[in-house]
Amino acid sequence: DVKVTQSSRYLVKRTGEKVFLECVQDMDHENMFWYRQDPGLGLRLIYFSYDVKMKEKGDIPEGYSVSREKKERFSLILESASTNQTSMYLCASSQPGTGTRSKLFFGSGTQLSVL
Amino acid sequence: SQELEQSPQSLIVQEGKNLTINCTSSKTLYGLYWYKQKYGEGLIFLMMLQKGGEEKSHEKITAKLDEKKQQSSLHITASQPSHAGIYLCGADKTGNTPLVFGKGTRLSVIA
């Protein structure tokens, strides 16, 4: 069964801490994505990557960075966590291309609370 | 940027009833994806529509894309408790671009 695995389901951090959210996929997908999901705002794209060592800013990249040293792993970094980064973080991966072939596969999410 | 409006925001239906969720775009869609999310979990792919007028079904769920490719509807027939969750539509703007999502419709099915 294909999988996108996020390292933690729940995480509690303090303001100012550096936070790493890890995501690993076993489908040899080229594309990987980080979204955050907030009530009333839906899913918003933070960063994405179409290849190893490549990254692109999404709609809300401020306060975040990413790392993709290996094809299967895409890490989201909160340089200095703030309370407004309390959210559900969802990682996804896909094949390049169009149509059903490029559908997103999502991880189970990480609920991050910043106190 | 492309916006997707979903309606209704939430829905409570009695088990066995039919329901429809709508997703409307401000621009012509290249592709429209429907996902389901169980509370506190990741999204599960349901269907993808690409051609104007296209319709697809999976078990008791049917999705349609209108001819102008700006509106999609998701219809559930004879709803069951297992259908409960959040339904999200996602749009591909031009092909191979990150999906933009609507805010979701929260469905509850009561006995």
Distance in Å, alpha carbon of B110 to nearest chain A alpha carbon: 22
- The first and second tokens of residue B20, run together, are 């429809």
DSSP A60: -
pLDDT tens, position by position, A87-110: 999 999 998 877 776 789 999 999
What is the Cα–Cα distance from A22 to A67, expressed in whole angstroms? 10
Q: For residue B58, how many other CB atoms are within 10 A of its CB?
A: 11
Strand locations in B1-111 (E): 4-7, 10-14, 19-25, 31-37, 43-49, 55-58, 61-65, 71-76, 85-92, 100-101, 105-110
B-facing residues of A in 57-86 (CB < 8 A) are: 58-59
Q: CA torsion sign, A35 to B33 to A103 to B62?
A: positive
A7 touches chain B (CB under 8 A): no
pLDDT tens, position by position, B16-45: 999 999 999 988 888 899 999 998 888 999
CB pairs under 8 A between A and B: 57
Distance in Å, alpha carbon of A98 to nearest chain B alpha carbon: 5
Asked whether the predicted pLDDT for residue B88 surpasses 80, the reply is: yes
